Structure 1
């Protein structure tokens, strides 16, 4: 198992980024490595970090402004070679079709529910780390 996993968290809202960190904790599940968070508040920062590499999972806030996480997700899936899996935070369950359109690998609703979020994040980390192994 690798020593840690890097999770990029994109939201213009510091409270949402804090919810993500708290929900995941240091290790979202016992069978995945501890996570380190890389927080981004703007789309240019997200693109810069993905270009740098080393991101295992992206968590994108669908309610972020001016660039919402759903559109950002679709852009990343189109433009980033071997794009990491994306966990999308949706404002409401009825937005699930938009999560599908954006090509997100998983989606949960806001506010972040810790067990649901940690399970979704751990699942994406397992898949990513199995592919990278």
Structure 2
């Protein structure tokens, strides 16, 4: 059972999209996943700075964000960050899944976000990410 808290970065240039993600995923997306803390970013520069600072387990990026789209940002993070957090892209159209694949995202979620599937996708990504953390020595 994973009890460690997780940090989820939510990126969108639109505050209503960030709120929809937080609401759909909730504070605890699954019983075996520790509590989630959200960090919200409205610009691509904020995302890069936050990820560079460390401590982010998952980024949920809006593929429709302006002016920096989540797909380009995902690819940049995967290429430039050695210990890149898991990446999930919000996509408005199913045909955009190939772009999400190009961006090297670990998963996609359709937008508008489905509160029945979003927690399961987020929980799976967090299980993988938290399971990869090095053990803390005391």
Alignment of 1:15-26 (within 5 A): 15-26=16-27
8 Å CA contact 2:4, 2:130 repeated in 1: no
Q: Which runs of structure 1 show a deviation greater than 6 angstroms over 4 or more consecutive aligned residues?
A: none
Q: Secondary structure at the match of 2:39?
A: strand
Higher helix content, 1 or 2 = 1
Q: Please tell me whether Structure 1 or Structure 2 has the larger radius of gyration of its CA atoms.
A: 2
Match of 2:58 in 1: 57
TM-score relative to the length of structure 1: 0.97
Match of 2:78 in 1: 77
RMSD across aligned positions (CA): 0.9
- Post-superposition Cα deviations, 1:57-94, rounded to whole Å, max 9, x if no partner, equal 00000000000000100010000111011010001111
Match of 1:67 in 2: 68
Runs of 5+ unmatched residues, structure 2? none
Displacement of 1:3 in angstroms is 3.8
Q: Secondary structure at the match of 1:124?
A: helix
For residues 4 and 109 of structure 2, what CA distance do their matches in structure 1 show?
26
Runs of 5+ unmatched residues, structure 1? none
TM-score relative to the length of structure 2: 0.93
Match of 1:124 in 2: 125
Match of 1:48 in 2: 49
Pairs aligned (count): 133
